[in-house]
Structure 1
């Protein structure tokens, strides 16, 4: 466990057992570490990721819970239920981990070894399933190591996963409770506790249900050579645009991915006529960056 905690603090990845599936874990507040997860899984998409914490007290440090959220937490935690609620701490859970949203997905895993790591680490840890994209989620240690073990600095064997399917995801936002993703905590169990669920949940706030992403108020123009009148220009590569607004002055895709949501948000705060973005290569992480930019520009979702 000590090795795993040290790896998380160093910004590295850890294979982490939970009762649902094995996860590929990283410090939720470290965008560079979160980028490594997308790289390791392949064909990445900037979904919101679940922030795993040691207990409900730690959950309320990063999320704003109402009475319904507290009832759900008391009934089903530790366990395979994820609660999507307004984000309280945007530093502890980075923009990249939240996919640029104002909400955060959080849960307390039911696996004792996972909670011990989280308690020792002292902060939220994102841990999507430790599989390569398009493959089944690993529910044994051997399968997790085979899938993404080469990307992890540490790996914990917690035995076979007791649940074996990803957690149920419920949003608790604006006074409405909605089921975003079914799992082993059933609709009937949830409704028995808090009453009928609302049917208007926003699927984009749930991992595994990507439909759209945070888009700035300003229009976004892609593949630009320079900024037009009143636009902020987000450059990429040496000498492309002002360094202050560069996704990566050196043309590093990992750095660009880690900076993407932050720079879009900061540019939008300037209330520009638009946000122009330089062309990004469509290889490796560039595929994910371009996917996110297309959604920001309204071309997808």
Structure 2
């Protein structure tokens, strides 16, 4: 039901305090992070977490990421490990999510984990997110603030366009800097890349001194659905040129591109622009062609999002 008045809160002390009060009351707040805007709720409040799934139209088998202000807070919910300590010291706060064995007896809603025996945790680097987490002083579940399966939001306007009337507030801190969701690493056994994201695989492997395994099997973390991040129009990948009936999302020195993720071929710039440009180029009808993007560094995350955006839809 779209019957709420969605507030637009400034990212100042008053706005952050209001957002924290809304969370305590069981409400939903779209909060900025360095990756994308997240749809935040009190992770210990089952009704509030259920509202995340309802607002997004998200399937209940898809677990959520819990956001916390620091690693010490995270350790109260999971069985910590040497690998987790290494990665947390190196990359938190930042665009990295760790999946670890869930401790028994936590106050978290079972909806957060989708009844899995593991929990996804992140300490975001965005200063406004950090201030909100400190003000709220509890675990916050926060998937991307958009309808399930659609393009992720990197501005408050993206959130408002799709979720106004379904959530209590949007905490507006401008555009997100990284532009793609966090990298997810599973640490319930052999360290495994569960989802490529805003931290390059190579950096994680260097910190651990080993190669990450590749995920195979059932869903164990967010972002693993085959069709995800999709615009309204169809998407064609690895396009050498634009067809007459298409719009072209370019990468590198591509002539005739309607929009270009990075004319200079910079993968960091491309990642930051990806979702915003998909929002901008999508009219819901005209097919979108996308230039090839290298499968290295952040290109792994960009191509993961593009392949899921182009996948057949139910």
Q: Which residue of 2 aligns with 1:170?
A: 185
Deviation track 1:2-41 (CA, whole Å, cap 9, x = no partner) reads 1111111111100111111111110111111111111111
1:1-301 equivalences in 2 (<5 Å): 1-42=16-57, 44-88=59-103, 90-174=105-189, 176-194=190-208, 195-199=210-214, 204-209=219-224
Deviation track 1:74-123 (CA, whole Å, cap 9, x = no partner) reads 11111110000011255332211100011000000111101111111111
1:15–1:149 Cα contact (<8 Å) kept: no
1:180–1:202 Cα contact (<8 Å) kept: no
1:82–1:167 Cα contact (<8 Å) kept: yes
2:43–2:141 Cα contact (<8 Å) kept: yes
Unaligned runs of 5+ in 2: 1-15, 227-314
TM-score (norm 1): 0.66
- Match of 1:173, SS state, is coil
Q: Structure 1 CA distance, aligned partners of 2:89 and 2:53?
A: 32
Q: Matched residue pairs, number? A: 210
User: Comparing both structures, which one devotes a greater share of its residues to helix?
Assistant: 1
- Tell me the C-alpha RMSD between the 2 structures: 1.7
Q: Structure 2 CA distance, aligned partners of 1:89 and 1:210?
A: 28
Unaligned runs of 5+ in 1: 212-301
Q: Structure 2 CA distance, aligned partners of 1:25 and 1:166?
A: 15
Q: Structure 2 CA distance, aligned partners of 1:201 and 1:52?
A: 25
1:20–1:80 Cα contact (<8 Å) kept: yes
Cα gap change, 1:189 to 1:2, in 2 (>3 Å): same
TM-score (norm 2): 0.64
Q: Structure 2 CA distance, aligned partners of 1:52 and 1:181?
A: 17
Q: Structure 2 CA distance, aligned partners of 1:70 and 1:99?
A: 25
Q: Structure 1 CA distance, aligned partners of 2:154 and 2:146?
A: 10
- Match of 1:61, SS state, is coil
Cα gap change, 1:210 to 1:96, in 2 (>3 Å): farther
